[in-house]
Amino acid sequence: MADTHTFASDQQILGRADIDDLEAIMAIVNTDAAETIHAVKDNADAIFTWDYEKGQRPALNKLYEKAKTAQWNGETDLDWSIDVDPEQILAGLLGPNAAGPFQALSQRDDSPFKHFDEKDWSNLGVESMNWRLSQFMHGEQGALLCTAKIVETVPWIDAKYYASTQVMDEARHVEVFAKYLDSKLTGYYPINAHLKMLLDDIINDSRWDMTYLGMQIMVEGLALAAFGFMHMICEEPLLKQLLRYVMSDEARHVAFGVLSLKEYYAELSDAELRERQEFAFEAAVRMRDRFLQQEVWERMGIDTRKMVRMLLDVPPEDMIFQQMLFSKIVPNCKKLGLLDASGGWLRKRFEEIGVIQFEDWKDTGEEYLELDAVSQDRAAAAASA
């Protein structure tokens, strides 16, 4: 029988017909920002397997063995005695000489940045960094829950073994980001509504591979790229070391998703692959919307609606940081066969949002070996002993 599946419309996927619909984007709000507990319905079955033969999937077994030796302690392996001056160190990342689209927007007559002085740019830098690290912290808790769900739902013992090590990794990531925000910066922002919606959707889906796709490939892939970019330009020693260690873990996490889904997706029908393409596109747009950072504009007393509209109008090629966030996602989607399935539907959508140029960058299947910070530091210590 011919495959008659048709793609869902943007209205069905995103809840809006236009990706840049300002009203629809602004309508997504965090209604329980003041609450400390948020419950999400988890519709998945917990799967036991009575097949305990270790190493049936050698690549996953290799990843598991690496994870066992790559654990680090956030309390003792990071130097928390380092003093951090947010204004002096962090503001430089988003100040007038490195503000990217904000600097360009400051030239417009109606720009909220038009009359910014050095202190204003410094405040923007600090608030943006607080906000950014806060969202990564919330995302790490999402990864903590999702990976615990993968332990429950994936049917392969090698995947259960590895996922259990990632649960520990994610707990450590939440811990160190929370401590950095509380003790070195000025506390954290509540979770962004677009990120919250995406995490809720990932946890709510009953299919184990969708947890992998949403978290390991999309959310963790974005985090790995962001941490790499921030690590490259960051000069604050504590944050730089924190990011380096977290990156080392994240590379394994993304590799876990690539290795697992590559095998599984090879067996899916065209219609099933199309559902995964649509989900990947939805996740990409939600993550793009997240970086409109509405919460920062609200806190700084800037007209949020006007600011979001201005950012949506910035050409994709001028949003360097936001583009770089997809430098891991796009090649990994390509390796999984998602870019070109169904006549290249996802490829076309990634072209629309201006990120397809990353398709031939290195995927993360083996990159985790290059980013193994713990082994590198242990080897350096042994060599100098």
Per-residue pLDDT tens over the stretch 179-217? 999 999 988 999 999 999 999 999 999 999 999 999 999
pLDDT at 332 over 70: yes
The mean per-residue pLDDT over the stretch 230-234 comes to 85
- Say what percent of the chain tops pLDDT 70: 94
**Residue written as tokens 């299947």?**
365
The mean per-residue pLDDT over the stretch 166-186 comes to 96
- Residue 124 has a pLDDT of 86
Fold for the domain defined by 61-68+80-376 = Ferritin (1.20.1260)
* Alpha-carbon span 290 to 308, nearest angstrom: 11
Closest by Cα among 268, 265, 134, 286 to 212: 265
pLDDT band at residue 90 using 50, 70 and 90 as cut-offs: low
The mean per-residue pLDDT over the stretch 20-29 comes to 93
Determine how many CB atoms are found less than 10 A away from the CB of residue 381: 9
- Residues sharing a CB contact under 8 Å with residue 207, sequence separation 6 or more, in sequence order: 44
The mean per-residue pLDDT over the stretch 240-247 comes to 94
Joined together, the tokens standing for residue 379 give: 């080897």
Tell me the per-residue pLDDT of 270-323, one tens digit each, with 9 for 90 and over: 999 999 999 999 999 999 999 999 999 999 999 999 999 999 988 877 777 778
pLDDT band at residue 365 using 50, 70 and 90 as cut-offs: low
* Alpha-carbon span 91 to 98, nearest angstrom: 9
Pair 74, 175: CB distance under 8 Å: yes
- Say what percent of the chain tops pLDDT 90: 70
Using CA atoms of 350, 352, 353, 359 in order, give the dihedral in degrees to the nearest 10: 30
pTM for the whole structure: 0.92
* Alpha-carbon span 273 to 261, nearest angstrom: 11
Higher pLDDT, residue 101 or 39: 39
Higher pLDDT, residue 272 or 101: 272
pLDDT at 147 over 60: yes
Higher pLDDT, residue 114 or 259: 259
pLDDT at 88 over 80: no
* Alpha-carbon span 211 to 250, nearest angstrom: 16
Pair 136, 226: CB distance under 8 Å: yes
Closest by Cα among 233, 275, 261 to 363: 261
pLDDT at 76 over 90: yes
Domain edges within the chain: 61-68+80-376
- Residue 98 has a pLDDT of 47
